[in-house]
Structure formats: C-alpha cells, structure tokens
C-alpha cells in the first residue's frame, strides 16, 4: 500500500508539471513593456493618471483615508466591509451636510455606527467585502484596508489611490449596483484596461468579472488574467494573502516554480490550517512559503510579478473571494508601485 501511494504521488506530481508546459491560452501581456500591453488590448487612453501606494501600520492609514475624504468637493461614495474609525465617521457626517455622501456597509458589520439617508447595509447571502471610496467621480481609494483602528494600527494592509476618471467611472458603476441592492452579480466592468503614458491598469470586480458560473471550474476573464501573468513571469512572483485556499492559483504558482521562477509566498499564520489551505501543499512541492510574524494579522491580498506588476485589492485568494463575494481588484503596471509592494513583502517575509 505504501509503495502504491508513493507511485500515485509521483504520477500526480508529473501530471501537474506537464500540464503547465502546454500552449498558453488567452492574450498574455508581455510584462516587460507597457507598449505590448497597449498593442494587445483595446485602447482606453487617459492622460495624467496618478497612483499612490501606502502600507499600514508603518504609514498612517487612518490619516490617509481621512485626508482623501476631507478633500472631496461634491461627492463621496464608499463601500466598506467594516467601518469603525470615529474620526472618519465624523468627517462623513460633516461632509454629508453639503456634499452627496453615500455609504454601503456589509450588514454583518453594521451596528448603527453611522446613520442617515446616505447609509445602506448590504444584505447579501455572501460578503460585501469591498473597501473602496470614490471622491468627486475622479479619484478612487481601494486596497485591503478596512477603516478600523486594528486594521490601521496593528494589521498589515495596503491602500491604493488612483486619480483617473475612467477608473472612477468603473467604481461608480459598481457602487450604483451595490446602492441599488445588486449583490454578487451585475454588469461586467466597462473600462477593464487603461493606458496612461508609461502606466497601465486593469480593473475587475468579482464575481461578475471573475466567475461565469457557480462552478469553481468555470472562471472568467479576471482570474485568467492572473493566471496569464503568473505564466508569463520571467524572474519572480511574490504572493501575500491573508487566506490562501484557491487551488487553481496554487497550481499556477507550482508550475512557475517548476520552470525556475523564484516564487515566494506569505500567508497569515492563523489561516494556514483552515480547510482547503494551500500552505502544506505548497511546502510539499518545495515552494518557499512562510507564515507571517505579526501577532495580529497580515491582511494583505497582493501579488508582485518581476518587480514590475502588482495585483492587489479586496479578494482573498479563495473561491469565495473570486466566485461569490462582492470584491474589486487592480492590476498595476508600474515599476515604482511594484517596488513598493516588493519592499513591503520582503520586510514581512524576512
């Protein structure tokens, strides 16, 4: 019996590795040149896009989001999984006297902390797991950060800010769906791929862009974009995920490692033994995977590819994150932003 199990394990390993050597599907982006991105995809141009990246708790994420909202001139639309920061709630209340302020909060985390006609709860069977705000239909704040004291001061998180009318339009469309009670569904993203000078962006919302059917084996464009980028990595892939149970993403990382890509993975210590965790499987295949040393939470959900591309947003790398929950994420083609995420990863990984 022991010999039989051994041969089965060897056979499965070879089958998995061989499956990664076939022809790639989809329109893979050349990760080294934004110009190739431009040539391969529809051309949504926008000049002057500005992107910022911030990391809690080393940076003051409470102040970053407070300043972002305080600078609004006519509208603030936010979707939060959690909201606890009293200063931020006070800013929302003050702004609501003169501006169009609307907030959607996941019903599981609403306790009356903010009230009024501009507040709705997302009463969905799944999580409304977003953490984004749109200001003046021109700027977006998103990432892994929930505006709570613990998230800002103790947990590892990231905030992305984007000054872009097209990206803001995507998020406004998503917010309108949430405000109107459309959860875990909706229209596909309008401007998925955007070029600006030497920066390129992709923008997706789950589950509408991420899963075409309830079956976890029928994943749509957004997840295949992640697969394509991992498959086209030339040197390195860094992964930081609070929860890591997505077997298909794990498969792509194992294949990348098998062809010589430097794959390193960091996951939350308390999540390594949850049902479906890919932690032990990755270790068994020889990948460099560690749990974080933060005694609170490593709450990031990002991938850095070749120190040039960042995938980041609200979904954990789980089936629920891509197939069920309301989520959002960005793919950012910018070496400066990527280097910041690589530095954050390396500091946590040790």
Cα torsion 56, 335, 78, 174: sign:
negative
Per the structure, the count of domains in the chain is 1
Domain annotation covers residue 10? no
Other CB atoms within a 10 A radius of the CB of residue 144 amount to 28
Told to judge if 306 belongs to the known catalytic residues of this protein, a careful annotator would answer yes
Which of 106, 306, 326, 334 is labelled catalytic? 306
Domain annotation covers residue 239? yes
User: Which tokens in the block code for residue 243?
Assistant: 């929860």
Domain annotation covers residue 14? no
Domain annotation covers residue 4? no
Under 8 Å between Cβ of 172 and 134:
yes
Instruction: Determine how β-strand 262-267 pairs with β-strand 288-291.
Output: parallel
Cα torsion 123, 326, 344, 48: sign:
negative
Under 8 Å between Cβ of 240 and 317:
no
Domain annotation covers residue 1? no
Under 8 Å between Cβ of 241 and 317:
yes
DSSP, collapsed to helix, strand or coil, labels residue 284 as helix
pLDDT values of the chain reduced to their tens digit, one per residue, 350 residues: 444 444 444 444 444 443 333 222 222 223 333 444 444 556 799 999 999 999 999 999 999 999 999 999 999 999 999 999 999 999 999 999 999 999 999 999 999 999 999 999 999 889 999 999 999 999 999 999 999 999 999 999 999 999 999 999 999 999 999 999 999 888 989 999 999 988 999 999 999 988 644 444 444 688 999 999 999 999 999 999 999 999 999 999 999 999 999 999 999 998 888 898 999 999 999 999 999 999 999 999 999 999 999 999 999 999 999 989 999 999 999 999 999 999 999 999 99
Residue 237: predicted pLDDT? 99
CATH no. for residue 148?
A: 3.30.870.10
State how far the Cα of 9 lies from the Cα of 70, in Å rounded to an integer: 57
Q: At what angle do helices 2-19 and 247-258 cross, to 10 degrees?
A: 80
**Residue partners of 208: CB distance under 8 A and separation at least 6:** 185, 186, 187, 188, 189
Residue 41: predicted pLDDT? 53
Other CB atoms within a 10 A radius of the CB of residue 260 amount to 9
Other CB atoms within a 10 A radius of the CB of residue 238 amount to 24
Range of the structural domain that residue 184 is part of: 23-349
Told to judge if 301 belongs to the known catalytic residues of this protein, a careful annotator would answer yes
Which of 102, 299, 308, 340 is labelled catalytic? 299
Domain annotation covers residue 2? no
Domain annotation covers residue 18? no
Domain annotation covers residue 57? yes
Closest CA to 56 of 141, 114, 134: 141
State how far the Cα of 167 lies from the Cα of 160, in Å rounded to an integer: 12
State how far the Cα of 120 lies from the Cα of 83, in Å rounded to an integer: 13
Which of 129, 131, 301, 308 is labelled catalytic? 301
């Amino acid at each position: 019996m022991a010999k039989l199990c051994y041969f089965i394990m060897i056979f499965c390993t070879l089958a998995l590795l061989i499956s990664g050597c076939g022809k790639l599907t989809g329109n893979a982006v050349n990760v080294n040149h934004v110009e190739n991105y431009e040539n391969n995809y529809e051309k949504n141009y926008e000049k002057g896009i500005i992107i910022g990246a911030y990391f809690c708790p080393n940076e003051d994420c409470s102040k970053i989001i407070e300043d972002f909202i305080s600078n609004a001139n006519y509208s603030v639309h936010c979707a939060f999984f959690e909201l606890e920061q009293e200063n931020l709630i006070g800013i929302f209340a003050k702004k609501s006297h003169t501006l169009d302020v609307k907030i959607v909060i996941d019903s599981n985390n609403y306790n009356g902390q903010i009230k009024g006609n501009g507040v709705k709860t997302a009463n969905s069977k799944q999580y409304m797991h977003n953490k984004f705000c749109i200001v003046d239909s021109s700027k977006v704040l998103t990432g892994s950060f929930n505006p709570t004291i613990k998230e800002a001061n103790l947990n590892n998180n990231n905030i992305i800010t984007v000054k872009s009318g097209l990206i803001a339009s995507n998020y406004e469309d998503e917010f309108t769906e949430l405000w109107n009670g459309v959860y875990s569904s909706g229209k596909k993203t309008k401007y998925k791929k955007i070029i600006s000078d030497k920066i390129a962006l992709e923008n997706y919302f789950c589950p509408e862009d991420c899963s075409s059917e309830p079956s976890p084996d029928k994943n749509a464009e957004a997840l295949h974009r992640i697969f394509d980028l991992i498959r086209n990595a030339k040197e390195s892939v860094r992964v930081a995920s609070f929860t890591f149970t997505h077997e298909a993403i794990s498969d792509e990382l194992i294949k990348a490692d098998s062809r010589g890509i430097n794959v390193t993975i960091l996951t939350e210590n308390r999540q390594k033994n949850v049902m479906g965790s890919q932690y032990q499987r990755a270790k068994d295949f020889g990948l460099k995977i560690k749990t974080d040393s933060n005694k609170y939470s490593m709450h990031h959900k990002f991938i850095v590819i070749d120190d040039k591309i960042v995938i980041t947003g609200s979904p954990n790398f789980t089936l629920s994150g891509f197939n069920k929950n309301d989520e959002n994420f960005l793919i950012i083609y910018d070496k400066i932003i990527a280097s910041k995420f690589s530095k954050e990863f390396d500091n946590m990984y040790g």
